[in-house]
Chains A and B, each alone.
Chain A
Amino acid sequence: DAGVTQSPTHLIKTRGQQVTLRCSPKSGHDTVSWYQQALGQGPQFIFQYYEEEERQRGNFPDRFSGHQFPNYSSELNVNALLLGDSALYLCASSLEGPSGETQYFGPGTRLLVL
């Protein structure tokens, strides 16, 4: 049973560029959440996707956008990259339902903005 997978594992971009990160949820999961983790900090919630819609959003600017596909996989897009966007980006999946909802994380994508 495959867990949550993310690609790429590492990425280097320059300021002003755009980036797309990808996530495949754990088998059977239908909800994907994205988190940003700066160095030395705990992960911070960016947004969550369910039924191909953004259901919740944290305190992140509109430069951060996402998408969920019919197979439940998801993308995180960041436009006009800033140096401060350098971080580990984590995807977590869960199963919507009355007894589920535990989120399981992928290994993350490390983004460096120069």
Chain B
Amino acid sequence: DAKTTQPPSMDCAEGRAANLPCNHSTISGNEYVYWYRQIHSQGPQYIIHGLKNNETNEMASLIITEDRKSSTLILPHATLRDTAVYYCIVRVRSGYSTLTFGKGTMLLVSP
């Protein structure tokens, strides 16, 4: 699976949009971009995934560049409960493919 690069930490004011970047310049054509987050001492929570089109669900939006070498996870109105470590993972979408976690981005949402 391709590797990803994320900033180690980011800050965001409550109520503002949080934009978390991820670089995956070696991504292959059949690899998807997945985002998970982990609130302290809890299990990782699935957020969203995409291949090449932008995706949106009730939690977040995922913007993937046209060359697929980077993506941005957007939390439109961050709350204090969004404070967590956010992991960007690229993987082939198959049952055989596991998740390779990096260090992620620690997002701190402040009042």
Contact = CB atoms under 8 A, between A and B. Distances in A.
Interface string B79-105: 000000001000001111111111110
B45 interface: yes
Contact of A101 (B36, B41, B93, B104): B93
Given A44-B101, A102-B49, A107 B43 contact: yes
B87 to A, nearest CB: 6
Given A43-B99, A44-B101, A50-B95, A90 B41 contact: no
Contacts of A48: 98
Interface residue range, chain B: 20 to 34
B80 to A, nearest CB: 21
**Majority SS of interface residues in chain B?**
loop
B46 A97 contact: no
Interface of A: 4, 31, 33, 35, 41-45, 48, 50, 55-56, 58, 88, 90, 92, 94, 96-97, 100-108, 110
22 contacts: A33-B98, A33-B99, A42-B103, A42-B104, A45-B99, A45-B100, A50-B95, A55-B96, A56-B96, A58-B98, A88-B41, A92-B99, A96-B95, A97-B95, A101-B94, A101-B95, A102-B49, A103-B46, A104-B46, A105-B45, A105-B46, A107-B42
